[in-house]
Chain A
Amino acid sequence: MGGQVAEKRITVRATRFDPAKDSAPRLQSYDIPFSDESMVVLDALNYIKAHVDGSLSYRWSCRMGICGSCGMTVNGTPKLTCSAFLRDYWPGSVTVTPLNNFPIVRDLVVDMEDFMHKLKSIKPWIIRKQEMPLGAGEHRQTMDQIDDFRQLSQCINCMLCYAACPVYGLDDKFLGPAAIALSRRYNLDSRDEGTKERLPVLASSDGIWECSFVGECSVVCPKGVDPAKAIQQTKLDTTMRFVLPFGNRD
C-alpha cells in the first residue's frame, strides 16, 4: 500500500512589467514545488527563472542578508527575499512586487538612482579637516567610541526603509531614512570632522524635519539599524547645536 506522498506546492505571484510592451505592471502566477522547509522567497524566484520562465527579472547577489540587493515587497511588506521563508506563508500564496515608492525598471527591478544620489549627498565617508600622514599611524578608537555608531554602521543600503516610508512615498524629495542614519553614523564617529559639511543637507527642508516619526522604517530594517531613532536624535542634536551658545559645535 505504498501510495505516493503528494508533492507540497506553493503559489507565487510576481510582478511582470516590460516598459517596451506593457502599459502597467501586472501579476503573474506560478505554481512551484515547495520541496524544502528552508526555501526562501528568493529560492522560489530562482526556481521560476531556472525552470519556468527565464525572462523574470530581479536583483540578488549574496543570498545571505548581507548585500542588500534582493529587497522586494512580499505580501505587502518590504523584505529581503533571501530572509523571507516560504514556510511562513504556506499554505497561503506569496505575492512578490517591487519595492514601493520607486519607479519600476522591469518586473521586480526598481530604479535606485534617486537613493544613490541622496546617499552621495550626505558624504558617507570619513572627512578630516587635515589628513594625517600615513606614517603617523592609524586613527585609534575606544570600544565606547565605536559603540556610539556601531548599530548605524550595519546599514546595507537595501532601501527597505524607503519602501516602508509614507513620507518618502508622498514626497520623494525627502532625504530618507537610510541616508540620514548613515550621515549620523559618520557624525558620531570620533575620527570624523565633517558634521558641518553634512549639516546643510540634513537640516534642509527636505532633510530630517520632513520626517514625522511614522517609525515603519525601523520595523522593516533587516539589520536593526533603527533609522527612525537616528533621525529623531539628529533632530535633537541639530536643535541643541542651534540653541546652545557654546557647546556641541566644531
Chain B
Amino acid sequence: MAAGWWTKKRHYFLYIVREFTALPLALWLLWLLYEIYRAGRGPAHFYAPSSTAFVIFSVICLAFALYHSFTFLSLAGVILHFKVLDKPVRSRLIVISQFGLWLVASIVIGAVLIGLGR
C-alpha cells in the first residue's frame, strides 16, 4: 500500500486523526507527571505554568482530548453488547447513556476541583 493511503478517503483520514489524538494527550500527561514530580520536591520547586505557549498547547490538547472522548464514547456503543430482559440493548441507547455519564462525571470532577481550589 502507498504511504498516503489515508489521504484517499475521508473515512481513512478521520481514522488517522482519531488515532493521532493519543499523541498530544500522551505529551500533556508526560508534562503532568513532570509537574507532579516538581510538586513532590516541595513548594520552593513548584510554580504554576502560565506562559502563552503553554496555554496554547493545553487548549490544543483539550481539543484533541474532546475529539478522542467523542470518538471513544461513540464507538463504545458499537462494542458493548448486552441484553436486558432477553432483548439486546440498542447501540444508540448505550452511546447516549455514556455521554450522559461523561457529562455527570465532568460536572462532579469540576465541582470537586473548584471546591478544592477555594
A binding-site residues for B, Cβ under 8 Å = 76, 101, 144, 147, 166, 169-170, 212-216, 219, 228-229, 232-233, 235-236
Question: Contacts A232-B78, A233-B81, A236-B79; is A170 near B15 (CB within 8 Å)?
Answer: no
B9 within 8 A of A: yes
Query: When A and B form their complex, which 10 residue pairs have the shortest distance between CB atoms, in order from nearest?
Result: A232-B79, A169-B1, A214-B15, A229-B78, A216-B11, A233-B81, A170-B1, A166-B5, A236-B79, A144-B86
> Which residue of B is nearest A101, CB measured?
B1
User: What are the residues of chain A within 8 A of B80 when measuring CB–CB?
Assistant: 236
The minimal Cβ–Cβ distance linking B74 to chain A, given in whole angstroms, is 11
- Alpha-carbon distance between A215 and B14 when the two chains are bound, in angstroms: 11
Size of chain B's interface in residues, with CB distance under 8 A?
17
* Cα distance A219–B46 in the bound complex, in angstroms: 51
Return the chain A residue nearest B76 by Cβ.
A232
Is B6 among interface residues, defined by CB-CB distance under 8 A? yes
Q: With A213-B75, A236-B79, A236-B80 as given contacts, are A166 and B11 in contact (CB-CB < 8 Å)?
A: no
Assembly CA distance A212 to B12 (angstroms): 12
The chain B residue with its CB closest to the CB of A171 is B1
Nearest to B86 among chain A residues (CB) is A144
A76 vs B5: C-alpha distance in the bound complex, in angstroms?
11
